[in-house]
Amino acid sequence: MSARIASSVSVPARVVGFDQALLWVTVALLAWGLVMVYSASIAMPENPRFAKYTHTYFLVRHVAWLLVSFVAALLAFQVPVARWEKAAPWLFIASLVLLVAVLIPHVGKVVYGARRWIALGPFGFQPSELVKFSVLLYAADYMVRKMEVKESFLRAVAPMGVAVALVGVLLLAEPDMGAFMVIAVIAMGILFLGGVNVRVVFLLVAVLLVAFGLMIALSEWRRERIFSYLDPWSEKNALAKGYQLTHSLIAIGRGEIFGVGLGGSVEKLHWLPEAHTDFLLAVIGEEFGLIGVICVIGLFLWLTRRLMQIGRQSIALERVFAGLVAQGVGIWMGFQAFINMGVNLGALPTKGLTLPLMSYGGSAILVNLVAVAVVLRIDFENRLMMRGGRV
């Protein structure tokens, strides 16, 4: 339910403004990520697997995606929140269609044994990134609609559970358990913030934990990944399932307090796989040390806190959908950053999740920036309402 103010006062957009601090923190993460993607990937062409690439291959592609993402974010900012609310169910359906399409041979692109990408000319789009955003909008819209009608638990919450389960089945078929975890947490967070009883939330969390436990128990390669995480330095794991983790820890250990300097990483020289994507934080730790890692953590803490504050402000203004969306984006950015950092630091099992706004990955950057732009629009409309303008 989006509240609207009918007022004769028209406030110019330049007077209302928006959260510039949020914008500049986002730009800082993007800029730092761009530098680190170049630093982490510059030596990759010396590896026979990437011999056909130039030293600036990943940098150029990352810049191209950033430009496309900035344009998409500017367009997203122009869209009123009420239109996002109306489009939420249709965007969710479209994302489901893409999830099905990516599983079709010759449509979905297989990389490292996973079918997660749809080829778009020289680029690839990952539908699971769009699904994070569409589930967020759909869950917020769903909770607003259910607030208006008093129903039993099963009738109120079960349909949302079915929708998330359907997304989970499609994602696990790729397979992409990491994206499913993020989506499940986003949906659970919005249900909780939308007013679902705490005991019900705990019950749903227990169901999800059992489900994830069964996925691990019934999958040999997932079990091996968990066991290698528990003892990555063992003779069996150090050169197998624990290889990425051990070299990530070596990289962070080499950085010590102040790091070895920008460009001075040794682990990125074909020792640490996916240094420019999932393990970008390890390269930051090696080149900028503990100080650099703390700065990254601090930026994401501030970002998450500010997104949640904008959401609370919207709810206080009786703009429930907008508030749940902003808080959902906060949960998304915060949780995914937490998982990525935990993996890089050896606190969590290895998962294929990038560091939001920083890691190489075009579709992730695109959807992340659109999500932040929507929150900036929410903040803009909040300020407009508080100044007596129309939303």
The predicted structure's pLDDT at residue 382: 93
Which residue did the predictor score with more confidence, 80 or 349? 80
Give residue-wise pLDDT tens across range 258-276.
999 999 999 998 888 889 9
Which residue did the predictor score with more confidence, 283 or 5? 283
Give residue-wise pLDDT tens across range 53-103.
888 999 999 999 999 999 999 999 999 999 999 999 999 999 999 999 998
Tell me, letter by letter, the H, E, C secondary structure of the chain: CCCCCCCCCCCCHHHHCCCHHHHHHHHHHHHHHHHHHHHHHCCHHHCHHHCCCCCCHHHHHHHHHHHHHHHHHHHHHHCCHHHHHHHHHHHHHHHHHHHHHCCCCCCEEEECCEEEEEEECCEEECHHHHHHHHHHHHHHHHHHHHHCCCCCHHHHHHHHHHHHHHHHHHHHCCCCHHHHHHHHHHHHHHHHHCCCCHHHHHHHHHHHHHHHHHHHHCCHHHHHHHHHHHCCCCCCCCCCCCHHHHHHHHHHHHHCCCCCCCCCCCCCCCCCCCCCCCCHHHHHHHHHHHHHHHHHHHHHHHHHHHHHHHHHHHHHCCCHHHHHHHHHHHHHHHHHHHHHHHHHCCCCCCCCCCCCCCCCCHHHHHHHHHHHHHHHHHHHHHHHHHCCCCC
pTM of the model: 0.90
Give residue-wise pLDDT tens across range 159-211.
888 888 899 888 888 888 888 889 999 998 998 888 777 777 787 788 788 87
User: Mean of the pLDDT values across residues 278-286?
Assistant: 95
The predicted structure's pLDDT at residue 173: 83
Q: Is the pLDDT confidence value at 6 over 50?
A: no
The predicted structure's pLDDT at residue 299: 97
The predicted structure's pLDDT at residue 90: 95
The predicted structure's pLDDT at residue 2: 42
Q: What mean pLDDT value characterizes the chain?
A: 86
Which residue did the predictor score with more confidence, 152 or 87? 87
